[in-house]
């Protein structure tokens, strides 16, 4: 009962903040074409991603990407471009290109964010306790670069019972 009340309060707060334009607008077409551009000419496995400066991230990410992945923000529900993708492929970290999720584990949770019931490889993510907004949640981070991806909840479908609720701007979709 307490968890349900906290969830309602959390989503009410998110709605209020969104209406106050605290949560930044969704990425425009120009910004989306820039997502992942800094990954095209580098050997993703040879870079020390965790020691990149905030300046590097500000120069190479869109403002919304930076807000979500580096400042632990959240994109507005139902605004992400990857929410309705049904093609087969892989979802990579938009900051460093690390493979995170597979399309066959994606499902429609009705929450407004892309949701997955499992990860590509458990070593590719880091889970961390998140006590923000008066709630206890589990934050999902990219293990290679530390980017905030979203949260994982224990209300997902079989076989795992998990719901990885992930921000679209923290991902790049690569079609098979």
Which among 25, 21, 107, 17 is positioned nearest to 65, based on CA atoms? 25
**Nearest in space to 66 (alpha carbons), one of 102, 118, 15, 31:** 31
Mapping DSSP to helix (H, G, I), strand (E, B) and coil, where does residue 92 land?
A: strand
**Distance between CA 19 and CA 33 in Å, rounded?**
26
Closest CA relative to residue 74, chosen from 125, 142, 22, 120: 22
Is 165 assigned a catalytic role? yes
Residues taking part in catalysis: 165
């Amino acid at each position: 009962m307490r968890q349900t009340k906290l969830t309602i309060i959390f989503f009410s707060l998110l709605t209020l903040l969104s209406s106050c334009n605290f949560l930044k607008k969704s990425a425009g077409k120009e910004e989306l074409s820039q997502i992942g551009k800094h990954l095209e000419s580098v050997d993703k496995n040879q870079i020390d991603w965790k020691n990149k400066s905030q300046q590097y991230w500000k120069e190479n990410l869109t403002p919304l990407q930076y807000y979500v992945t580096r400042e632990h923000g959240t994109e507005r529900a139902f605004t992400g471009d990857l929410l309705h993708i049904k093609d087969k492929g892989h979802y990579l970290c938009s900051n460093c290109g690390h493979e995170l999720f597979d399309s066959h584990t994606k499902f429609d949770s009705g929450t407004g964010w892309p949701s997955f019931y499992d990860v590509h490889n458990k070593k590719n993510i880091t889970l961390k306790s998140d006590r923000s907004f008066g709630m206890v949640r589990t934050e999902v981070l990219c293990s290679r670069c530390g980017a905030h991806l979203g949260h994982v909840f224990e209300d997902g479908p079989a076989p795992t019972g998990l719901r990885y609720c992930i921000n679209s701007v923290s991902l790049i979709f690569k079609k098979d």
